[in-house]
């Protein structure tokens, strides 16, 4: 476990966090360390050129750097380089799978299994697919402490299920999926499984081969990288059987007005000029995280969650949601106070949290609340941030009596 001094050392790496400001909204988007900012500045200001097209040296060098970023992303999740598709983020990755693999492989009568805690990005694309193809969607319930109920999933799954799509870590509750069991259950009925790793990859080591999943998605901006870049991983043979998601430059083999043929994956799914600098920034973010160590990050955030839950749990007007061992995220409600008011008052105390439905309205309905307040941690947080949060909540209670 990290010592309390370590976060104070790391916060200096994040110039957008001024002294005395507790940034507790990492689950929405992370702050960026200097190495990421430096990589972006250098790419735009010193080495910028297009990729995959130019024959001049700078273009060739930028192409090498861009593909090195793909290699880093593959290594980070334990896959192969030709299995990493660059996308704008997890939302586009899921839409890509739904539009390409889903359109090609699913039909009326097939079924998809989701869970009650999914982010809208892992619900709406499948609903759009349902409207196009007639597939049906089933929803797995949660356990009492807010985990995806895999016993219920096992009872629900049938050979008609062709896809299971679940969050690896809940963006609201912080609950961690038993991913190996979920994979085994899906494969037992012949279904593919997609895991939404947005909240997982910044917090724990992920090995897609060891997990055995079929699709894995994540966003760079939650991993201390820039916005507008993320990854879809899938096994090479699955990608090779998928048609293009978009048409345009780069993703082609040969174009004529009679017939067009496609480039092999992953290029097939990367139409147009890519987010070159975003990929380089993501590479720097991965290097930064790996330099700290995901085991150390997980232990550090676990300690902060424990400190937060112990302190807020001692306040009889605060309700905590999710399991005790949530990964880096604590959602709560203050009795008689709307979460938006909680967030506003905390902001006056220089504590930044998230307040709302967190793009998980079906989960809010299940919890019986319109919204929650959410504190989420990163490598730059420390015990003083937790103390600031608790002091701010006590001020909320005083203001509202």
User: Strands 84-87 and 230-234: what pairing?
Assistant: antiparallel
Per the annotation, the verdict on 213 as an active-site residue is no
Do residues 219 and 201 make contact, with C-beta atoms less than 8 angstroms apart? no
Residue (of 274, 270, 207) closest to 242 by Cα position: 270
CA dihedral 64→65→68→69, nearest 10 degrees, is -140
User: Strands 230-234 and 215-219: what pairing?
Assistant: antiparallel
Helix pair 57-77, 276-292: axis angle to 10 deg: 40
What is the helix, strand, coil percentage profile of the chain, to 5?
45, 20, 40
Q: Output the CA–CA distances (angstroms, integers) from residue 241 to 19, 125, 138, 252, 266, in the order listed.
A: 51, 20, 26, 15, 12
187: exposed, middle or buried (Cβ count in 10 Å: 0-12, 13-18, 19+): middle
- Local structure of 373: helix, strand or coil: strand
Torsion 354-356-362-365 (CA) sign: positive
Question: In whole angstroms, what is the distance from residue 324 CA to residue 330 CA?
Answer: 9
Q: Which ranges in 78-112 belong to alpha helices (H)?
A: 90-96, 103-105
Query: Which of the following is catalytic: 73, 140, 213, 359?
Result: 359
Question: In whole angstroms, what is the distance from residue 74 CA to residue 66 CA?
Answer: 13
User: Strands 192-196 and 84-87: what pairing?
Assistant: unpaired
**Catalytic residue list:** 359
């Amino acid at each position: 476990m990290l010592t309390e001094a370590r976060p104070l050392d790391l916060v200096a790496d994040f110039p957008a966090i001024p002294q005395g400001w507790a940034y507790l909204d990492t689950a929405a988007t992370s702050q960026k360390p200097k190495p990421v900012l430096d990589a972006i500045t250098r790419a735009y200001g010193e080495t910028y050129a297009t990729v995959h097209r130019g024959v001049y040296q700078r273009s060739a060098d930028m192409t090498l750097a861009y593909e090195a970023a793909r290699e880093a992303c593959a290594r980070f999740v334990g896959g192969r380089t030709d299995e990493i598709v660059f996308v704008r983020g997890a939302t586009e990755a899921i839409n890509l799978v739904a539009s390409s693999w889903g359109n090609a492989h699913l039909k009326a009568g097939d079924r998809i299994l989701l869970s009650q805690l999914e982010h809208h990005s892992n619900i709406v694309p499948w609903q759009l697919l349902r409207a196009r193809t007639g597939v049906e969607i089933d929803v797995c319930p949660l356990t009492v402490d807010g985990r995806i109920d895999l016993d219920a999933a096992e009872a629900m799954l049938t050979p008609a299920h062709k896809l299971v799509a679940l969050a690896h870590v809940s963006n609201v509750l912080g609950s961690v999926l038993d991913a190996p069991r979920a994979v085994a259950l899906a494969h037992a009925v012949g279904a593919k499984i997609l895991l939404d790793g947005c909240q997982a990859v910044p917090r724990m080591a992920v090995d897609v081969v060891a997990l055995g999943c079929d699709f894995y998605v994540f966003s760079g901006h939650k991993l201390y990288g820039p916005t507008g870049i993320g990854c879809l991983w899938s096994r090479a043979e699955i990608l090779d059987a998928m048609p293009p998601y978009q048409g345009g430059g780069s993703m082609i083999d040969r174009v004529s007005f009679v017939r067009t043929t496609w480039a092999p994956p992953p290029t097939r799914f990367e139409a147009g000029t890519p987010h070159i600098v975003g990929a380089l920034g993501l590479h720097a973010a991965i290097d930064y995280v790996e330099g700290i160590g995901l085991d150390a990050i997980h232990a550090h955030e676990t300690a902060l969650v424990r400190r937060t839950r112990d302190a807020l749990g001692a306040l009889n007007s605060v309700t905590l949601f999710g399991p005790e061992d949530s990964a880096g995220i604590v959602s709560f409600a203050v009795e008689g106070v709307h979460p938006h008011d909680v967030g506003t008052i905390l902001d006056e105390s220089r504590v930044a949290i998230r307040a709302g439905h967190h793009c998980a309205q079906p989960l809010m309905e299940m919890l019986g609340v319109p919204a929650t307040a959410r504190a989420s941690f990163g490598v730059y947080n420390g015990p003083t941030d937790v103390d600031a949060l608790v002091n701010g909540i006590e001020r909320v209670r005083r203001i509202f009596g």
